[in-house]
Structure 1
């Protein structure tokens, strides 16, 4: 079964458990997909990137800024970030739902 990886770095959970700081340093501030049995189990995001993503979503939720004008440097090669973030902003703006599917 194929699985889309939403970032440029992956590591097995066993290697991540042994030295999580080394994995974060190697990714140089980008997110890391941590896998087990060839399936992504979770993503690790450095604090600075998480804060930036949170601010990005908050600005979009308030409707105070166009998504294109919010300074952000997080990217994922081969992934349409505009489509993902616009979907996230629409879901946030429309209020709470029981829909926890991907925003794609």
Structure 2
């Protein structure tokens, strides 16, 4: 389950993929497969997949306990060929983040 709280040390990778119209599902299926491959990586927490309502983007929100854990996740993804396969399905704009504030009603 995603953890969205400040001051936890958790690292979140947010990746926005731009895909050709109607091509969201193949990328979502690949990202699901990649997340399942990372479940056993020490420090991996979660992955959440989002699709835009206009059909042109997919967002992957993935979390790891800390930066070394996120490095292990990336290593698993590279070793499994997932990064290469992602690039064939859409243009990625990745970034690593930490939660600094949350607001609720």
With CA pairs under 8 Å and 6+ residues apart, which has the higher RCO, 1 or 2?
2
The structure with the largest alpha-carbon Rg is 1
Higher helix share: 1
TM-score, length basis structure 2: 0.30
Higher strand share: 2
TM-score, length basis structure 1: 0.30
